[in-house]
Amino acid sequence: MKRRDFIKSAFALSAFGTQVPVMALGRKNQFGRIVQWDTDRIIVLIKLNGGNDGLNTIIPTQDDIYYNARPSLAISPNDALTIDEQNGFHPNLSAFHSLYQSGNMSLIHGIGYPQPNLSHFRSSDIWVTGSDADQYLQTGWIGRLLEQEYPDFPSNAPEHPLAIQFNSANLLEFKTSGSNTGMMVFDPETMYNLINGNYVAGEDDPAPDTYGGTELDFVREVDLLSFEYAEVINETAGQGSNSVEYPETNLGYQMALTAQMISGGLGTPIYRIYQSGYDTHADQNNDHSNLLLDLNNAVLAFMEDLSNQGLLDRVMVVTTSEFGRRYFENGSTGTDHGSSAPCMVFGSQVVPEMFGEQPSLSNLDQNNNLFIQHDFRQLYTSIITDWFGLDTEISTNVFGQQFVTIPFVQTPLSVRTTPIPAKFKMHPAIPNPFNPSTMLSYTLPNNGNVTIRLLDLRGHVLKTHPLGKQNAGRNIFKLDGRNLASGSYIAQVEAAGSVLNQKITLLK
Amino acid sequence: MSSLPLSRRAFFKGGKASRPDLDRLNPNWPTKRVAKLIRNNLKKNSPIYHPPKVDELPPVLPVTHSTESLQVVDWDMGAARHLLCRTMFGPKYPEIKEASENPLETELSSILSTVSLPDPPGEWVYEPAPQWDALTGEEIQELMNQYREWMGELRYWWMKGMMRNPINIQEMITLFWHNYFATAQSKVFFPQAMYQQNSVFRQFGLGNFKELLRQVTFGPAMMIWLDIHQSKDVEPNENFPRELLELFTMGVDNYTQDDIVEAARAFTGYRTNGVETNYSFEEASGSGPWWNEWHDFEEKTFLGQTGNWNGDDIINIIMEQDATAVHICTRLYKWFVYQNVDETIVNEMADIFRNNDYSITTVLYFLFSTEHFYDENFRGADIQNPLTLMQGLIRKCGMEEFHFSLYYFIHSQEFLGMLPLEPPDVSGWPGYRSWINSITLPVRKVQASSVITGQSPWGNFDVTTNVRALAQSMYDQNEEGYASEQIVRKLGFLFFGNPLSENLEGRMLSVLLDGAEPYDWAINAPPNNPQWDRMRDLMVYIMRVPEFQLS
């Protein structure tokens, strides 16, 4: 194989475990967003790894069976943060409480799947592959989703990672039949420091004071520099920032990093975060409470951060888990594996309601576990069709059947608030990429003033060309890049009371 | 650091300026017509990637200089792993365990014993050189295609063979001598000659060094490679004598330019057609018309000694010099121990070498018995060369019998930088840190992971490592603690030269468990249980961490 072809089509891994190709030129589609880049929507999925105890997260404050079955674990109606008559939040979820009341949170009860499997691995696999309990799929639902947008993946992949996963080496969720669309960041703290220039290789795990250690240091240094998406992530995330302090926990780092990447303009639409420790078979009180507190604080910081930066409208956060836990406590003041559990959705574009209700603790399945109220694939289908605004055919292709959506998404993919006159158009710049100049062209419905601006990817105006009055019809403007550095820019045309943008790339 | 980051532009540069493999070709050999075809064929191939050399030596650390034999109590699993990983490709966990339970002497005897030679890759190794002038242009091209195919077979045969030997050094010593007497097939051109050289390394590689040197020098491959066969009394060729003195025996500063000139005169009149030579081992001399015509029979003065020297005489004189033993032992040390050389140890090795008729077995036996060799400093100090990395990994994972494609074996090595039979030049592969740069490191990871994923840039395949069998081969039910934790520790032991740090162990365990508890993981879980998928994830994770590169 010629080296050129290898680089374009093969995989390359880094310290962070990516399995992505070297960057190629972008492609126009919903995710590429070359023309309408500022309407990206993003989903942040948080897996509560181990099986979250839903009943102690959203407490059934009126259910006697709950209180009888959990003498040491049940949370009293006084301690719970009241949602309504039947429901209360765990006391550590104060931020969730406020978010729900301020209309930024949605609650969905009873998410699971028929014939629940009580094994971590198997149940997790079912969730990530989006299969039935008796199916064994080898690809992930996100993989099958992204594959429809990028059929040749990894050829013709965009410049940014399609999906980023933190903290788990299991990339099955993003696996396609030929490849894997997920990029793994196994060490978010390292990556965070790397982007922000604070990283010292091996600082948290110093190499031994031997020749073996010396060589290890060397390999670690090369490792950092070989990180495949280093360029685009450093460029974008490096320009992003956090406007609040995040908890200094593993989850906190993951969310801080996600927010920073979004803030910097990284085009990745899907993030998967892992928070581990939910497998609370013993001494659940402390462990679960601490986890929920961490989750509470991290999500709050994230929401505030994005809100401060005006990014919240584009982002939705969803918690998932491979199963819930039993309604009764075991002999070790813990709970064992169960079936369904609630999911929580956060964002400014969610319907602030509860979908479903507290599960019945008397009417149970053959394993004495809770019946499901919603299939998890309904949750994912809603994300695909309502949040990302994709065709139902796409979600049907992902899951092999059509699932009824859960209407927790408030608005469809955002449309422009100012209607553009039917004939004001911007045509693709030619050439693009370019060096040293390119022709921007646009069509005006009427004679009018036109201003052309050049912006960087973060939206800062670099140059302004007030063109004055231009004629109706098609016009051309030559943009000279001789004094610019190589890279991507936004060419913006303002006319007829509207603004149109287009991404152009200078390659010297 | 000079190797970071390597720009892809520099990496791809395969223009005329960077084709030394074309420049060193002899335009008249084996005939003018054939030489032209050889050159054209080579030009069509992309240049082999040779990673840039990393020059700086690492800082010297305090290491024991003790040449005392290793204490019995120190011969443990770690020591056994260290010894086996340096002397063979990919020792498996049970093999290391068993070795640690035998006395060190027993293991060294096995490792350094002479084992039988493998069968040759094909009957073609006995093919004589053709009468080039009797062939048409088409026939020549066809024969060249045939040679190319055989060369590929030779490579494949050798790479497969690296994994065949249980506790024995034959394969490793063969690679060592290939790097030492680095000879490239792009110039030698005859696969028969390359095979012959390879079998010389195997057959003579552990015996007396002088005999090995003679065998290599007067084999067709070396005669072509360093232009011995072009050297005539009217125009003696200095290429071989220079490298003989500088690289193969005494090392720089131990001789003068005059010595090279005189030695060049002695190495005249030898001839090969690519398969046969005009040298007789019994007579220790060339013979026949070419020899009579072109050998310089006059007196020469070499290293202060005067006589009508021929090539053998030069070799004899060199082997009498003290510097020779030191130089050879230094190179042995650098390969088997570390690039920072310990003078005390090397001097002791040189003494033993000289006093034991330059027996390679004896000097290695000594080296592998010393406390110095087993010093903690050297654990994980070896940045594995691409062949040790891949072939060792395949064997450790139990996949040595699988029929990987030729493409997979060989083209990957083109990229990683250690294509067998094609060292960058006669000084061998620079090695050490030069193996690792921002281009090769990601590829090393991908290629390594392929034994689990079945996917590599050079082909996909269906059969991959049986992780369940691997886990069970390591598991000891008499050890306390959860199976999952035991397996993590032992995988760390098998694949990392450095001791497993707590941090890394913790991360590995969380990859294996993926949110579950340690007791959720069972050594006897049936093969289709998804816990084994997590173990596969763990294996891939192991191959991605920097520690994996070191042995």
**pLDDT tens per residue across span B98-115:** 999 999 999 999 999 999
Would you call B507 and A186 a contact, using CB atoms and an 8 Å cutoff? Answer: yes
- Low-confidence winner among A43-47, A67-71, A184-188 (lowest mean pLDDT): A184-188
Instruction: Look at residue B398 in the predicted model and tell me its pLDDT.
Output: 95
- Residue B3: pLDDT band with limits 50, 70, 90: very low
Which two structure tokens, joined as six digits, stand for A315?
């982002």
Instruction: Look at residue A225 in the predicted model and tell me its pLDDT.
Output: 67
**Residue A22: is its pLDDT beyond 70?**
no
**Cα(A427)–Cα(A440) distance, integer angstroms:** 7
Beta strands in A134-200, from DSSP E residues, in sequence order: 163-166, 182-185
Q: Say if residue A433 is preceded by a cis peptide, omega within 30 of 0.
A: yes
**pLDDT tens per residue across span A145-183:** 988 887 777 766 677 888 999 878 788 999 888 778 888
Q: Are B208 and B357 in contact (CB under 8 A)?
A: yes
**Cα(A256)–Cα(A235) distance, integer angstroms:** 17
| Ramachandran quadrant class, B251 (left: phi over 0; alpha: psi -120 to 50; beta: rest) | left
**Cα(A376)–Cα(B260) distance, integer angstroms:** 80
pTM over 0.80: no
Instruction: Look at residue A422 in the predicted model and tell me its pLDDT.
Output: 55
Instruction: Look at residue B7 in the predicted model and tell me its pLDDT.
Output: 54
Helical H runs in B356-482? Answer: 360-367, 386-396, 406, 412-416, 440-453, 467-474
Element holding A319 (H helix, E strand): strand A315-320
More confident residue, A24 or A122: A122
Element holding A82 (H helix, E strand): strand A81-82
**Residue A431: is its pLDDT beyond 90?**
no
**Residue A68: is its pLDDT beyond 90?**
yes
Would you call B516 and A50 a contact, using CB atoms and an 8 Å cutoff? Answer: yes
Instruction: Look at residue A108 in the predicted model and tell me its pLDDT.
Output: 96
Find chain B residues with C-beta within 8 A of A51's C-beta. Answer: 515
- Residue A20: pLDDT band with limits 50, 70, 90: very low
**Cα(B522)–Cα(B520) distance, integer angstroms:** 7
**pLDDT tens per residue across span A481-507:** 888 888 888 888 988 778 888 888 888
Instruction: Look at residue A412 in the predicted model and tell me its pLDDT.
Output: 59
What amino acid occupies position B347?
Answer: N
Strand partners, A105: A346
**pLDDT tens per residue across span A278-306:** 999 988 999 999 999 999 999 999 999 99
For residue A8, what is the nearest residue in chain B, using CA coordinates?
B457
Q: What does each C-alpha distance from B33 to A366, B27, B135, B147 come to in angstroms?
A: 84, 9, 11, 17
What amino acid occupies position B282?
Answer: E
Instruction: Look at residue B11 in the predicted model and tell me its pLDDT.
Output: 53
Q: Are B89 and B162 in contact (CB under 8 A)?
A: yes
Instruction: Give me chain B's average pLDDT, please.
Output: 92
Instruction: Give me chain A's average pLDDT, please.
Output: 84
Strand partners, B85: none
Mean pLDDT throughout A32-44? Answer: 53
**pLDDT tens per residue across span A207-253:** 999 999 999 999 988 887 666 676 677 778 878 889 999 999 999 99
**Residue A33: is its pLDDT beyond 50?**
no
State the nearest Cα–Cα gap between A279 and chain B, in angstroms. 7
More confident residue, B49 or A344: A344
Q: Which of A2, A204, A215 sits opposite B503 (nearest CB)?
A: A204
Question: What is the signed CA dihedral for A501, A503, A508, B3, rounded to 10 degrees?
Answer: 140
Chain A residues 203-232 with CB within 8 Å of chain B: 204-205, 207-216, 218-223, 225-226, 228
- Residue B457: pLDDT band with limits 50, 70, 90: confident
The label of the residue with tokens 């110095």 reads B372
Find chain B residues with C-beta within 8 A of A223's C-beta. Answer: 441, 546
Q: Name B102's Cβ contacts closer than 8 Å, sequence gap at least 6.
A: none
What amino acid occupies position B461?
Answer: F
Mean pLDDT throughout A106-119? Answer: 94
Instruction: Look at residue B312 in the predicted model and tell me its pLDDT.
Output: 96
Would you call A122 and B499 a contact, using CB atoms and an 8 Å cutoff? Answer: no
ipTM: 0.91
Beta strands in A241-282, from DSSP E residues, in sequence order: 270-276
- Residue A411: pLDDT band with limits 50, 70, 90: confident
**Residue B2: is its pLDDT beyond 90?**
no
Q: Name B370's Cβ contacts closer than 8 Å, sequence gap at least 6.
A: B66, B67, B68, B69, B70, B345
CA-closest candidate to residue B59, choices B338, B427, B461? B338
Find chain B residues with C-beta within 8 A of A188's C-beta. Answer: none
3-class SS at A492? strand
**pLDDT tens per residue across span B379-413:** 999 999 999 999 999 999 999 999 999 989 998 99
